Copies of this chain bind each other. A is one copy, B any other.
């Protein structure tokens, strides 16, 4: 039975259902409970924004708070995953990856390969990403491009409550290390989500809107901006097809190629920075593998090559927007056009 809940609640529900289903699922991070050692209430926070709230009452032994020692507890997730658990560790903000990246990219991601297939690392790292709440340069980054770069990691970037729940359940049941990106601005959006548990396979993009003229590809928050842009463009007779990648690693290349074969025009939208980022990744694959289907230059809409600024007026200019996306779409249709092959 589906009902309308928030993206945040969908994540909480996925954790709850997997913890009740599988006793080896354990959740930990900084203040995922809150109140340890203090005189007041327990579960005082349930995560800095309340995502894990309520789990402590149900699973007091399987949700742990940690010291501010990301290397130790993210590494603990790696070790626990190698020895019989399915840990879900929280890296509060993905911006904090710099103090624990070794355990993620050299240990968790590589053990299986280095050991000749003799290790399995079924861990999930939940982490908050994205600009929009004036949290400044060290609490507003995207960074999923860096994780996507790393062989051995899977990278999930849900854009809706429905996807968040289904993809998180898949992540927890997955036998490889998964980095699960939660967009802080999307936490409060609502959507239809089934009560019962369900999974969404990795590497299967979601065509959220069909159209013949231009393909828009992206993940996370920008998918919503793309939809807004598409509405406006439709009014001008430009039909956009929107592909939400859902996971950046594995990547659903087929769906990207199919939409480009259909429209011949591609706009890649990415909240991450432009250099060596997701937008470039997709644009390059199409330029190599569907060049002859392209009827116009690929357009990339990304954050600029700067850190995220603090103040609202600048941060709003920093992230992509429906306006920028619409402008890019118009560029592709206005651009030089050659007959389809």
A152 at interface (Cβ–Cβ under 8 A)?
A: yes
By a beta-carbon cutoff of 8 Å, the part of chain A in contact with chain B is 71, 95-106, 109-110, 113-114, 136-138, 145-146, 148-152, 249, 251, 272-273, 275-281, 283-289, 291-292, 294, 296-300, 304-307, 309-310, 335-336, 338, 341
Q: Which of B149, B278, B283 contacts A146 (CB 8 A)?
A: B149
A113 touches B101 (CB 8 A): no
B residues less than 8 Å from A95 (CB atoms): 106
A228 CB to nearest B CB, Å: 23
A72 CB to nearest B CB, Å: 12
List, sorted by A's number, 19 A–B pairs whose CB atoms are closer than 8 Å. A97-B101, A98-B101, A98-B104, A106-B138, A113-B137, A114-B307, A145-B276, A149-B272, A150-B273, A276-B278, A280-B283, A280-B284, A280-B285, A284-B287, A287-B298, A288-B297, A292-B297, A292-B336, A336-B341
**Residue of B with least CB distance to A97:** B101
In Å, the complex CA distance between A161 and B174 comes to 47
B288 touches A300 (CB 8 A): yes
In Å, the complex CA distance between A27 and B165 comes to 50
In Å, the complex CA distance between A99 and B102 comes to 6
B106 touches A306 (CB 8 A): no
In Å, the complex CA distance between A289 and B299 comes to 9
B residues less than 8 Å from A296 (CB atoms): 291
- In the complex this chain forms, how many copies of it are found? 2
A110 touches B137 (CB 8 A): yes
Given contacts A145-B276, A149-B273, 7 further A-B contacts (CB under 8 A): A98-B103, A98-B105, A149-B276, A150-B273, A279-B284, A291-B294, A291-B296
In Å, the complex CA distance between A150 and B229 comes to 28
Given contact pairs A95-B106, A99-B102, A280 touches B276 in the complex (Cβ within 8 A): yes
A138 touches B110 (CB 8 A): yes
In Å, the complex CA distance between A298 and B113 comes to 30
A275 CB to nearest B CB, Å: 5
B residues less than 8 Å from A336 (CB atoms): 292, 341
In Å, the complex CA distance between A145 and B87 comes to 30
B284 touches A109 (CB 8 A): no
A223 CB to nearest B CB, Å: 19
B residues less than 8 Å from A297 (CB atoms): 287-289, 291-292
In Å, the complex CA distance between A163 and B304 comes to 29
**Residue of B with least CB distance to A143:** B149
A229 CB to nearest B CB, Å: 18
A309 CB to nearest B CB, Å: 8
A218 CB to nearest B CB, Å: 14
Q: Which of B99, B105, B138, B150 contacts A71 (CB 8 A)?
A: B99
Closest 5 A-B residue pairs measured CB to CB?
A: A98-B102, A291-B297, A287-B287, A280-B284, A283-B284
